[in-house]
């Protein structure tokens, strides 16, 4: 009985804190995305890049982000494991992670005109086979930043 | 960059299609309700199987199972006192009244220390009364009611039914168990809560059994009513908490035996 009350309190608290943190994170992501809307332009497709302009600098830019759901999200996802279906609580987590990683990459490439050949990858960095593993995800966005003279 | 494209980008930032717009709390409650529903069905299934076989079981098989489950009980640990002698004479009056109690256990009665008002029966028919109960209650009619209640559990084979249910439910929950400890805890708690409602049904049936016995012996059930009124004064729990309890609320039990 005490266990379940403790669990309910924990779930309530982590739901509240998780919601606040997520809301703030989304606000900050939106603000930064709007600020960066003009430059640099990202190009996801091309492997080769032809231009007549003189190029000043070419460099590798990366943005990384490791993100985890809160206790409540993990718990709901765990319950969903019994029935199956979309893990909606993790969708927002993955979205936050991806946008954060791309934003960090673009912030690193400040001043560049283009980021060409951008790729986004995700890795699980925890061990799935131990009991205490935390569901978490590392997302890396990388590309080549091109700056004109 | 032209204006249209810029507006398009802004709208992409504002309307996010990658995040589901369902509410996590609603989802949580739907999932919990789903698990509760599954367990209610499981209990109905397990109980119907258990009752089907146990009600048709012969007395010989019953004794064999009881002996297998009670090898741990040490009979020399408890002493008979003057209180238990009084109970034993009542017991000898009750047993001839019901066929289901004859030819099985000898129903030894012992007293154990403990301030709370309680009595219970072990799978082999050994009955225990707490000192708190024997101190509070001296009236013979009330003691008859309490003893008949415990014998009622035995007569209905409630001990065997609960064992069979635990085995079936334990087997099925072990399939559900995931790697996450807290999910396991939730499932176990839900299983326990559902089990309690069945146990309350058994308690009410044992009450009715005891009520019948008291009527046969004394012609009225004043003692039992008096006993429950005494319990009602002592208890402090509000009635709505009864879903978390193994026994029905005293008011309910009182209403049941009055009718």
**Digitized pLDDT (tens) for each residue of chain A, 149 residues in all:** 677 788 889 889 999 999 999 999 999 998 998 888 877 777 777 777 777 888 888 899 999 999 988 888 888 888 887 788 888 888 889 999 999 999 999 999 888 888 888 899 988 877 666 666 667 889 999 998 988 88
Task: Name the residue among B57, B52, B156 with its Cα closest to residue B101.
Answer: B156
* B9: nearest CB among A1, A37, A86: A37
Quote the CA–CA distance of A34 and A112 in Å, as a whole number.
17
Q: Which residues on chain A are in Cβ contact (under 8 Å) with B13?
A: 30, 33-34
CA–CA dist B165, B171 (Å, integer): 10
Do B31 and A95 make contact, defined as CB atoms within 8 angstroms? no
Per the CB < 8 Å rule, is A37 touching B185?
A: no
Give the ipTM of the model, two decimals please. Answer: 0.75
Domain total of chain B: 1
User: What was the pLDDT predicted at B129?
Assistant: 76
Q: Which residue of A has its CA nearest to B9?
A: A37
Q: Determine the Cα–Cα distance for residues A103 and A113; give it in Å rounded to an integer.
A: 15
Could B183 and A38 be called an inter-chain contact, meaning their C-beta atoms sit closer than 8 Å? no
Q: List the domain range (segments joined by +) for residue B52.
A: 23-258
Evaluate whether residue B16 is within a structural domain.
no
CA distance B65 to B52: 17
Minimal C-alpha gap between B20 and chain A (Å): 6
When scoring B172, B176, B178, B180 by the number of chain A Cβ atoms within 10 A, the one with the most, hence best to mutate, is: B180
Residue A64: its pLDDT value, please? 93
Note whether A91 contacts B: Cβ–Cβ < 8 A: yes
Q: What is the pLDDT of residue B74?
A: 61
B8 part of a folded domain: no
Q: What is the CATH number of domain A2-148?
A: 3.30.110.70
Q: Does B230 reside within a domain?
A: yes
- pLDDT < 50: residue spans in chain B: none
Please report the number of interchain residue pairs, chain A to chain B, with beta-carbon separation below 8 angstroms: 74
Tokens of B143: 């003691």
Query: Does A94 contact B22 at a Cβ distance shorter than 8 Å?
Result: no
CB-CB under 8 Å, B20 with A86: yes
pLDDT confidence of residue A25 = 93
In a domain, B128, yes or no: yes
Window 52-81 of B: residues touching A by CB (8 A cutoff) are: none
Q: Is A92 on the interface with B (CB under 8 A)?
A: yes
Q: Sign of torsion, CA B230 B236 B241 B247?
A: negative
For residue B195, tell me if it sits in a domain.
yes
**In chain A, where the domains are located:** 2-148
Beta carbons of A78 and B183 less than 8 Å apart: yes
Q: State residue B178's pLDDT score.
A: 62
Select the residue of B20, B32, B176 nearest A91 (Cβ to Cβ). B20
Residue B213 CB partners (closer than 8 Å, separation 6+): B94, B97, B98, B144, B145, B148, B151, B152
Distance from CA of A59 to the nearest CA of B (A): 24
């Amino acid at each position: 009985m005490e266990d379940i009350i403790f669990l309910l309190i924990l779930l309530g608290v982590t739901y509240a804190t998780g919601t606040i943190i997520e809301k703030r994170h989304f606000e900050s992501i939106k603000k930064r995305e709007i600020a960066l809307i003009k430059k640099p332009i990202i190009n996801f497709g091309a492997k080769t890049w032809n231009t007549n302009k003189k190029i000043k600098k070419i460099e590798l830019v990366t943005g990384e982000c490791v993100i985890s759901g809160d206790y409540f999200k993990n718990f709901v996802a765990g319950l969903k494991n019994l029935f199956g279906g979309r893990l909606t609580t993790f969708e927002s987590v993955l979205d936050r992670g991806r946008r954060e990683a791309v934003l960090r990459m673009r912030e690193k490439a400040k001043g560049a005109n283009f980021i060409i050949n951008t790729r986004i990858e995700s890795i699980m960095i925890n061990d799935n086979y131990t009991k205490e593993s935390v569901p978490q995800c590392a997302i890396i966005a990388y590309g080549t930043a091109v700056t004109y003279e | 960059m032209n204006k249209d494209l810029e507006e398009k980008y802004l709208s992409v930032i504002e309307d996010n299609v990658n995040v589901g717009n369902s509410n996590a709390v609603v989802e949580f409650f739907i999932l919990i309700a789903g698990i509760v529903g599954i367990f209610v069905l499981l209990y109905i299934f397990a109980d119907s199987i258990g009752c089907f076989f146990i009600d048709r079981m012969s007395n010989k098989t019953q004794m064999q199972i009881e002996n297998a489950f009670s090898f741990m009980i040490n009979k020399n640990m408890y002493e008979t006192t003057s209180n238990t002698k009084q109970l034993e004479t009542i017991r000898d009056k009750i047993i001839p009244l019901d066929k289901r109690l004859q030819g099985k256990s000898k129903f030894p009665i012992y007293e154990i220390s403990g301030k709370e008002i309680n009595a219970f029966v072990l799978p082999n028919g050994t009955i225990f009364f707490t000192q708190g109960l024997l101190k509070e209650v001296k009236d013979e009619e009330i003691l008859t009611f309490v003893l008949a209640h415990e014998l009622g559990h035995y007569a209905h084979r409630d001990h065997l039914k609960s064992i069979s249910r635990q085995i079936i439910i334990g087997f099925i929950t072990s399939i559900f168990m995931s790697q996450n400890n807290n999910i396991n805890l939730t499932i176990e708690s839900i299983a326990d809560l559902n089990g309690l409602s069945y146990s309350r049904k058994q308690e009410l049936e044992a009450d009715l059994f005891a009520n019948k016995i008291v009527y046969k012996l004394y012609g009225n059930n004043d003692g039992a009513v008096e006993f429950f009124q005494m319990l009602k004064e002592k208890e402090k729990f509000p009635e709505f908490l009864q879903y978390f309890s193994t026994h029905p609320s005293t008011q309910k039990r009182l209403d049941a035996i009055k009718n």
